[in-house]
Amino acid sequence: MGRISVELVPRSEETLREELKLIKEKINGVDLINIPDLLRMEIRSWQGAAMAQDFYPAVMPHIRAIDINLAEPLAMRPELRQRGITEVLVIEGDPPQDMNHKFYPTVTTDVIQKFHQEMPEVKVYAGIDQYRGSMRQELYRIQRKLQAGAVGFFTQPFFDMRLLEMYAEMLEGQNVYWGVTPVTSERSKSYWEMKNNVIFPKGFEATLEWSVDFAKKVKEFADVHGDNLYLMPIKGNLEGYLSGVLGNK
């Protein structure tokens, strides 16, 4: 088995620390904490990652490519170096709803290369979105990111083992974190269908039980293949989901 990563949204410092404390004290096997960079939150990803280091030494902030001005040094470089954060996940990022937030036509491969130039000590991971187009198109994006220097990949959540197994064949030999997330309401299911083009398999149920059972299947797959697991609780019953997948201490 590779590493097990848990993504935590930095809604506030208090909430983030409470969730980290819960996981540290009650959940088995977590190796890495991922912190997304969401503009609606006051805490930026690298700030949340610095907080997470009080509980887990291995942390990974997400970096939005469209926030990076290629003409200037990486804005987060001083904080990353000060805290000794040596892993980041570069994603494209959605344009902000608040147009007062400046963004740039920067793509992920640009940012991967910029990290290699300015922070060569940092391992840069990239995202895989298996729902945005064909597998051939996504494979091309993966190859471009590898050429730019990506050392591994984090996928969007899977809900169907058949699709995951197809991607596993395509990504054989790569350092992959297979993503899973709980979908426990019809509203959440509709979000994934409409926003991310997910087609749920026959037999899918929008329940915690189904989500836990599927995540355990992905964990077993990762165990067998020596891959990594990427758990994205997002919101809801954090302890119930993580303890169901990983077990309590």
Structure confidence by residue, pLDDT tens digits, 80-104: 999 999 999 999 988 777 767 788 9
Q: What is the mean pLDDT of the chain?
A: 95
In the chain, the largest separation of any two C-alpha atoms, in whole Å, equals 50
State the DSSP code for 213: H
Single pTM value for the model: 0.96
CATH code for the domain in which residue 70 is found: 3.20.20.220
Determine the Cα–Cα distance for residues 228 and 211; give it in Å rounded to an integer. 18
Position 222 scores a pLDDT of 97
Structure confidence by residue, pLDDT tens digits, 141-169: 999 999 999 999 999 999 999 999 999 99
Model confidence band, residue 247 (pLDDT cutoffs 50, 70, 90): very high
The domain tally of the chain equals 1
Q: Residue 237 belongs to what domain range? A: 4-246
Q: Is 228 helix (H, G, I), strand (E, B) or coil?
A: strand
